[in-house]
């Protein structure tokens, strides 16, 4: 899936246009054009970035 398609899907699902973003969450870096997997976490702990297996994976 292209990252722009994923962004649109998430924005539509969450109705993000109706919500004011009062607290942007740190540095965001755009990756590749195509998304193959997503890793989520509820912490910015280094272990999530160094060992993604400790975080929940969605395929």
The predicted model scores a pTM of 0.53
Q: Report domain extents, the chain.
A: 1-15+36-59
Q: Please spell the DSSP secondary structure of 4-53, one letter per residue.
A: HHHHHHHHHHHTGGGS---S--S------SB---EEE-S---HHHHH-GG
Higher model confidence: residue 55 or residue 1?
1
Per-residue pLDDT reduced to its tens digit, 14-58: 898 898 877 766 667 678 889 888 776 666 666 666 666 655 554
């Amino acid at each position: 899936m292209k990252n722009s398609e994923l962004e649109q899907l998430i924005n539509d699902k969450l109705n993000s246009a109706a919500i004011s973003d009062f607290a942007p969450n740190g540095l965001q870096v755009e990756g590749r054009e195509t998304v193959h997997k997503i890793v989520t976490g509820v912490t910015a702990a280094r272990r999530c970035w160094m060992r993604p297996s400790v975080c929940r994976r969605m395929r």
